[in-house]
Amino acid sequence: MKILHTSDWHIGQTLNFHYDRHEEHQHFFDQLCRIIERERPDALIVSGDLYDRNTPGNNTMRFLGDNLLRICDLAPEMPLILTAGNHDSSSRVESMAGVWRRVNTWFVGAAEILDDHYVLDKHILEIPGKGWIAAIPYLPDYQNDLYNIVLEEIRRRNTENLPVVLMGHTTIGNAVFTAHEATTFNGRDIVGGINSMNLNDIADDYDYFALGHIHTPQTLANGKARYCGSPVQLNFKEQFPHSVTMVTLERHGDAPVIEALEIEPLLRFHQIPATAKPLDEALDCLETQLPETPGYVQVNILSAERLPADTENRIRALLDRGNGLRYCDYKITRPAANGKEPLERPDFNLTEFRARDPFDIAEQYFTTTLQTEMDDTLKEMLHAVIQEVREEETL
C-alpha cells in the first residue's frame, strides 16, 4: 500500500494579520497534484489543521473545496481522508461530509459517542485488498483511549493481515519542537495547548503512524511514527525544507519505506541579517544586500534598548526598493547580560495576581521578557494610561 501523508496545511493563513497566502497554497496544490499523478498513491491522508482558523472565510472554504475536487478528478479511485486538527472546527470539517463521500473523500472531525460507545465506523476505512486506515482527528485528552479502541477493532477485522495506517493530530513527547513554543509541565511536553502522549501508550501493531500538529518533519524513535510537517512555511521559525511524505508498506509487520518529497515555496522567508546585528549595521545590510527572490522579511536586530519609533518606517523604505519583498517585523535579540543572572520569571497564583497593582505586573512582564529595566518615559506613559483607565471606570 502506498500512502501520501501530509498535514498542517493552515489554509487561509494571513501572515502578520496582513499578507494573504492563498496564492502560495495554490502553488502547493499544483505540486501535490503532480505528485499524485506521478506516484499514484492508494490514499491521500491529511492529519489535521486543514484551515488556519476555526472560522475560515467563505473564499478559503471554496478554495479548499475546489482543490480537493481537482484531486478527486485526477484520481477518482484514490480515497482522500482528511481529519480535523486543533486549529479546525470539528463540526465545520464534518458539515459537508455526506456530500464529500460521494466523491471518495472522507472528512473526520471528532469522536462521537452513541450508547456509551465510540462510533467506530467513522474512523475505520478499508482499502480493499491493500490495507486499513484509522482516521483519528485531534482529540481532547480524555478521549485518547480511542487510538487503542480503533486499533483493536481493526485487528479484529483485518483477517487478511493487511498493513494498518494510524492517523493522529497530537503532541508526542520528546519529539523535536523547533518550530513551536514548547513547555513542560509535570514532566509532560505541551505544544500548542496539546499535552503530550507517549508512543508506548498506544498499541504498536500499526505499520505507520501518520502524525500532524508538530510542523518540523521527523520520524520518531520507533521508525514508523512520523510528523510529515507543514508543506508551506508558516513562520520564520520553520527554517527547514517543507515537504509531503510518501510511505510504502509492503506487508503488515514490515518496516515502512518513508520518503520526503520536497515542496518548492512560491515565496521565501528572509531573515536579514542572518544573525542579529546592531540597528545601524542591520539597516546597512538592507541597504546593500537585498535578497533577489521575492518573499517575507524579518529584520534581525541586536539591541539592549527599545528601538527608535521611526525604525519600522526606515526598514519599509529600504525594502520598497526590492522586488516583491514583504516586510513582516523585526526581531530584537538582547545582548547577553554581562555576567548578570537572567531575571527570574515570577510565580504567583490567581488570587495574588488579582491583588497586585497593574503597574507592577506590567513592569515585571517587561523586565523578565526583555531582561532590561523600563526607562522613565515608558514608566510615565504607563502610569498615565492606567490613570486614564481608572478614571473611565469610575465614571
Binding residues for Mn ion, rule: CB under 5 A, are 8, 49
Cβ at position 194, least distance to Mn ion in Å: 10
Nearer to Mn ion, 105 or 230 (CB): 230
Read off the C-alpha cell for 140: 481532547
Cβ at position 180, least distance to Mn ion in Å: 9
**Do strands 2-6 and 113-114 pair parallel, antiparallel, or not at all (unpaired)?**
unpaired
Cβ at position 213, least distance to Mn ion in Å: 6
CA distance 350 to 53: 29
Read off the C-alpha cell for 35: 505528485
Neighbouring C-beta atoms of residue 123, cutoff 10 Å:
26
Distance from the Cα of residue 268 to its chain's centroid: 17
Nearer to Mn ion, 241 or 278 (CB): 241
**Of 305, 325, 290, whose CA–CA distance to 372 is shortest?**
305
Q: Where are the alpha helices (DSSP H) in the chain?
A: 22-39, 58-74, 90-94, 97-101, 146-157, 279-288, 311-319, 350-355, 358-370, 376-394
Cβ at position 55, least distance to Mn ion in Å: 16
Cβ at position 87, least distance to Mn ion in Å: 6
Cβ at position 181, least distance to Mn ion in Å: 13
Cβ at position 86, least distance to Mn ion in Å: 7
Nearer to Mn ion, 151 or 225 (CB): 225
Nearer to Mn ion, 231 or 322 (CB): 231
DSSP assignment of 198-243 equals -GGGS----SEEEEES--S-EE-TTSSEEE---SS--STT--S--E
Cβ at position 278, least distance to Mn ion in Å: 35
CA distance 260 to 107: 24
Crossing angle for the helix pair 58-74 and 22-39, nearest 10 degrees? 10
Nearer to Mn ion, 8 or 238 (CB): 8
CB-facing half-sphere around the CA of 89: CA atoms within 13 A: 10
Whether the link from the prior residue into 273 is cis, omega within 30° of 0, is yes
